[in-house]
Each structure stands twice: as C-alpha cells, then as structure tokens.
Amino acid sequence: ELALYLGIPMALACLVGSRLSTHVSEDAMLLVFAAMALVASVMMLLPKRDAAHEETLEDVRFSRALAVLIGAGIGSLSGIIGQGGAFLYVPAMLYILSIPTRITIGSALAVGILSAGAVLLGRLGTEQIPWLEAGLVVVGVIIGSQVGTALSQRTPRVFLRRALAVVILGTAVKIAMSVAP
C-alpha cells in the first residue's frame, strides 16, 4: 500500500519531469540534484527513535495524502535530474511518514522500480541515455545490491541511516563544487 501511494504519483511526476528536462540547463540540473541530496543527508542525520521491537508491515500507519504529495513533489524533481529519487524518498519515508527503517528499505525497492522506470521511459524519447555507461552501472548495482542486502540484515539500523547520509552528503558536496564558479 505504501509503495502504491508514494510510488504511483512519483512515477507519473518522474515521467513528466524527465520529458521536461530538455528545457533545463545542465548546471540547473546539477544544482537541483545537489540541493535534493543536501536535504536528504540532513534528514538522514537527524536522530530517529526506532521502536523497541522490530515493527511488522501490519504495524505501519501513514498518511496516504502526504505520501501522494511527497511522491509527486520528489518525482517531479527526480524526473528533471534523471534519477529515481531514492536518496530523497527514503529519508522522507523515514522522517516525514515515520516508516520503520527496515520497512522503508524494503518498500524503497518497489517505489524505485516505479520511479526509475518512469524516468527511463521519459528519457528514452529525449535521447539522453549513454547506453554503455548505463549498462556498466546496472551491472555494478546488481552485484552491489546483493552484497548490500546480505550486509543490511546484520547491520544496526542507526549505522545504515548514518552511512547513507554520509554518502549522500558527499555526493551533494561534490556536485555543488563541480558547478561552483
């Protein structure tokens, strides 16, 4: 249910944003990406009180209207920058919708498939995909996701959030520095 209320509006907005991306300068795209990554990393570094016990999917409650708004907002920006938006919708799920960490991580895959698929469809018509480089990244992601899945089950939740925050923050700084005059 969470993946649908967040993922479908996000996918639709990603599709629209990716089609409109040809009208946005490269520097503007990089600045939007850096700003989104900065917001995400700050959110991920905020303290989050985890439940004393592992919550199950049946325990999860969230605002459907807020999930739709978050999906549409993040999706439109993600479509413009050509990225599925996981670095921002994961913290939004954790801190705004108050979804438990492990359920967020599991739901993020479904949302990511929807949003990344929509960005791909939008970008196909605009000829903005470097196929060789994209293929190499996909191979790396497939291998890395298998390793990450195995490691995440043995890693404390707070470490997972902080490690992701550091990676996202580093990315934001690097991108911002590449655009700065």
Q: What is the pTM of this model?
A: 0.74
Predicted confidence band of residue 181 (pLDDT cuts 50, 70, 90): low
Confidence of residue 163 (pLDDT cuts 50, 70, 90): confident
Give the Cβ contact number of residue 129 at 10 Å: 14
Long-range contacts of the stretch 45-50 (C-beta < 8 A, 24+): 45/162, 45/165, 45/169, 46/95, 48/94, 48/95, 48/101, 48/158, 48/161, 50/100, 50/101, 50/157, 50/158
pLDDT-derived band at 10 (thresholds 50, 70, 90) equals very high
Among the listed ranges 13-17, 132-136, 156-160, which one has the minimum average pLDDT value? 156-160
- Structural tokens at position 129: 């995909």
Three-point CA angle 165, 166, 167, nearest 5°: 95
